């Protein structure tokens, strides 16, 4: 069975392992005006601290600073402005920083390196096994990818109120080959985020997912819920359990979620293992696809052409 260590604990390792190293000493700043405006637009307050207890059950404190990022291509990206997180608390705590890959013109690495890489980047998040590795690739050279399935693309959906984030049109979800029906599939967009761990779905969507999951798992003994995860089982007597899960997007793009993204292992003996999805409180809240469901996928962001692609990949880049 899979290791339950949260994905984001190895996020920094996979981001920097292959493609970059930090050059000069990190320079913390009080926050220049341009960065402050950008941060406020991304829900950060003037003190750069944001309590997220109601949404993500965690609290984090953020800082603005400058750093020179040197790539193995021996190209100096110059003095990069970036945001760093500290004081992470909550269920999925443990990370001490995030690289800004959003659309902010002032703090995003993507926008600052657009002249070099054309506004294209991709990542492959590994499983949480101790020997697993992942990668971040800047630029759109698809020959570097190690995907095992063709890339399927969907368009990015503009959201003027949250312009620094990436939104997609989720058209459906299938569980074990069964296509689900829910009212929220036809309205609004869903945010895809590598910094969020567990995906949050609209109540109507989660209700349909949970009902079908319980139907197909009716023969397995139940277990107590864990934090925000309320659909759990005792699978300690089983060697292997799998249920094909797919997220469908506009343009026939598909995100295939493998078993490591479907289940969250609470106890190492598998006596408490939960469906790794959670419900939002209200239908009009923003749904999020978290990094737990993106594992073993090559996820390609093309900000120039406003499209995002998915392809299966083992992520064994080393």
Domains (range + CATH), the chain? 98-312 (2.40.70.10)
Give the least confident one: 119-128, 180-189, 245-254: 180-189
- Least reliable range by pLDDT among 75-84, 169-178, 185-194, 278-287: 75-84
The pLDDT of 99-105, averaged and rounded, is 77
pLDDT, mean of residues 160-180? 92
1-43 tens-digit pLDDT: 444 343 433 343 334 433 444 444 445 554 444 444 444 444 3
For residue 75, what pLDDT is reported? 46
Residue, of 89 and 168, whose pLDDT is higher = 168
pLDDT band at 292 (very low <50, low <70, confident <90, very high): very high
pTM: 0.77
Question: How much is the mean pLDDT over the chain?
Answer: 76
Cα 158 to Cα 2: distance, rounded to the nearest angstrom = 36
User: Does pLDDT of 127 surpass 80?
Assistant: yes
């Amino acid at each position: 069975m899979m290791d339950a260590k949260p994905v984001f604990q190895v996020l920094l390792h996979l981001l920097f392992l292959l493609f970059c190293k930090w050059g000069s000493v990190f320079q913390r700043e009080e926050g220049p005006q341009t960065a402050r405006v950008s941060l406020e637009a991304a829900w950060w307050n003037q003190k750069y601290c944001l309590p997220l207890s109601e949404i993500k059950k965690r609290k984090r404190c953020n800082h603005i600073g400058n750093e020179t990022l040197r790539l193995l291509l021996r190209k100096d990206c110059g003095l990069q402005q970036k945001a760093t997180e500290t004081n992470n608390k909550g269920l999925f705590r443990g990370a001490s920083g995030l690289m800004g890959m959003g659309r902010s013109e002032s703090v995003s690495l993507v926008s600052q390196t657009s002249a070099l890489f054309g506004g294209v980047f991709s990542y492959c998040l590994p499983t949480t096994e101790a020997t697993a590795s992942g990668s971040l690739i800047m630029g759109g050279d698809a020959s570097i990818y190690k995907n095992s399935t063709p890339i399927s693309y969907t368009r990015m959906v503009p959201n003027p109120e949250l312009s620094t984030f990436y939104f997609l049109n989720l058209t459906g979800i299938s569980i074990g080959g069964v296509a689900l029906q829910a009212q929220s599939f036809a309205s609004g967009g869903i945010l895809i985020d590598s910094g969020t761990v567990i995906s949050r779905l609209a109540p109507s969507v989660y209700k349909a997912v949970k009902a079908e999951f319980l139907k197909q798992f009716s023969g397995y003994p139940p277990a107590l819920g864990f934090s925000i995860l309320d659909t759990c089982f005792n699978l300690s007597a089983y060697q292997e359990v799998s249920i094909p899960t797919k997220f469908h997007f506009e343009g026939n793009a598909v995100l295939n979620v493998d078993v490591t993204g479907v289940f969250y292992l609470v106890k190492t003996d598998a006596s408490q293992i939960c469906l790794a999805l959670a419900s939002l409180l209200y239908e009009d809240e923003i749904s999020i696809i978290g990094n737990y469901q993106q594992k073993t996928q090559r996820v390609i962001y093309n900000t120039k052409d406003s499209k995002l692609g998915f392809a299966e990949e083992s992520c064994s880049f080393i």
